[in-house]
Chains A and B, each alone.
Chain A
Amino acid sequence: MNSSSPDILALITTLKMAGITTIILMLIGTPLAWFLAKMKSRGKVFIEALVALPLVLPPTVLGFYLLLLFSPQYLPGQIWQQATGQQLAFSFSAIVIGSVLYSLPFVVQPLQKAFEQLGDDLLEAAATLGASAFDRFFTIVLPITKASFITAASLGFAHTVGEFGVVLMIGGNIPGETRVLSIALFDHVEAFDYAQAHMISISLVIASLVLLSMIYLLNRPNKSRLKTSNPLITKSETSKRFS
């Protein structure tokens, strides 16, 4: 019993980190995805590559650079320390910032794809009916791409829960602050406490499986409402004759 309470604390820290990260991701990711979907210049591919970078880099690489930037020797770390009076590295804020960068592609990519698929047709129609850009976003874009928003948020959340490398590099292992489930799991394995390790692992597997199943259920092709019907095109003999 004694050993399970630090794990509960780790669970709470994890949920708090993933929750806050997801909210920030949606706020940053939505305009970024919109911008990328509408952008036509060549600079687009560079931004897309930058966003996708965490997909291919070892998380420890990202963690390493963030650790440097967050330390008081570098400007971002200094600014943070002056503003808050606390060190940024090895803090809860540090792991949230790290998670936002690390999970960004999981939010931006589904949203960007949905916005691209939506296209301009319906938005143009709404504009000619008197809807402002803000109005169009909430009455056309959001309801039609709702499933993609849920997918983006779920993937961002799930991926943040599952991160290890970045947190280890910039967060360390401070209970209640930066000790998340994946770190707790690592500790148990190091200490040969396989029973506790199993508990955490199997819970994560089941929770992730349930979440992913729900995402796939939501995105089943027949649920898509983007398709507009394509009426038959028939050529009239009369109009051919006179035009």
Chain B
Amino acid sequence: MTGLSIKVLVEHDDFVLSIDEEVSLTGITGVFGHSGSGKSTLLKVIAGLNKQAKGKLSINTLPEADTLFDSEAKVFVNAQQRNIGLVFQNSRLFPHLSVEGNLRYGQKRRNNTPLNNFLDFSEIVSLTQLDNLLVKSVEQLSGGEQQRVALARALLAEPRLLLLDEPLSALDDKNKKLMLTLLAKVQKQLNLPMLYVSHSLAEIQQLADDLLVLSSGEVTHYGDIHQVIHQLTTHSEIFHQTSLSLTLNEHLPQYGLTSLALAEQNILMPLNQQVKNDSEVRCIIAASDISVTLHEPSESSIVNHLNGTITAFELCKSQVLLTVNCSGQDFFVNITAWSTKRLSLIVGQKIFIQFKANAVRTLC
């Protein structure tokens, strides 16, 4: 099990980043925060592009720890020796080189350790769908293509950890989806740990296994993606939402729906044939899209109704945030104080929650 041990203090004129955290480097770890929260500074510190940072940073690959910097011991490993890749928001492709020239730049400089399993150039090129672009100049590329080149270039340098700094923020919706799918595929295929920084929780929710939340330069939450999103929702730090992973039951193309399994109950979402049998779907359901009934509705156009138990009430302004447990999964429901009173809802009560298929959202 690999981990990143971060004990870092960065002080600028009006900003302090202070982190003391052991981050597990398995799969994709999302780093979420608003602008100015210190996300990008953290990535720069890890990559070795910030030399002002104090403290200690090491990658722990059992059996030994590899120190990246230790300000007390005056140790600083340069960015070029860290073997940590970074994909920037603004691709930063080399304008004097062709697409292939950019890709080869990193490949030529990869670390020649015998442990490495060298990646095949053409394998990465076809994985990132750049086959037809190799001879092009980077200025001829669209935004989405530029980011794919930047990703492939970073991969070919064969990093042990890949950092992604808002890689989708300059892309349109179509290219965002493409990159998200690509990143998930790359992660699985190469088994490369990634830190994915974004100010969009929706993006992170689609990809990350763990989530680290930064606020004003400090870690406020860190843990499993769904759990952290639930914590953020109960603390009303984000739009109230339920984040969950579900597995496929079946596609119902004749109705334009896809049926997903939540233990013994079903959830219907708009048809998405990208979802394969063995993969899980990351979904988000906004708390304001769910309503509550005391009896199972039998004559309603709303397709999803699940039975569950109320486990918590929370009053936020004139709204009530209900937590309803359905087959082991907590759902968050926003209703008015008026409805709460009218239905005389209490903790422990068995009720039904209902929502439209369209309320089940996914970016992929």
Contacts and interface: CB of A to CB of B under 8 A. Distances in A.
A130 B94 contact: no
Interface string A119-141: 00110111111111001000110
Contact of B84 (A122, A128, A144, A225): A128
Interface stretch (B171-179, B208-216, B292-300, B342-350): B171-179
A39 interface: no
Contacts of A225: 95-96, 139
A130 B110 contact: yes
Contacts of A140: 94
Interface stretch (B20-28, B85-93, B302-310): B85-93
Contacts, number: 122
A227 B157 CA distance: 25
Interface in B180-214: 199-203, 205
Contacts of A228: 90-93, 95, 139
Interface stretch (B75-83, B113-121, B320-328): B75-83
Interface string A205-243: 000000000000000000001111101111010110111
Contacts of A231: 142-144, 146, 170-171
A207 B191 CA distance: 63
B173 A236 contact: yes
B270 interface: no
B146 A229 contact: yes
Chain B contact-residue range equals: 35 or more
B85 A241 contact: no
Contacts of A144: 94-96
Nearest to B140: A229
Given A127-B79, A132-B80, A242-B361, A121 B96 contact: no
B87 to A, nearest CB: 9
Interface in A170-195: none
B95 A130 contact: no
Contacts of A124: 47, 49, 79, 86, 88, 92
A143 interface: yes
A243 B35 CA distance: 13
B80 A122 contact: no
A125 B88 contact: yes
Given A140-B94, A232-B172, A130 B106 contact: yes
Given A124-B49, A124-B92, A243-B201, A130 B157 contact: yes
Interface of B: 47-49, 78-86, 88, 90-96, 105-106, 109-111, 139, 141-144, 146, 153-154, 157, 169-173, 176, 199-203, 205, 238-239, 241, 284, 286, 361, 363
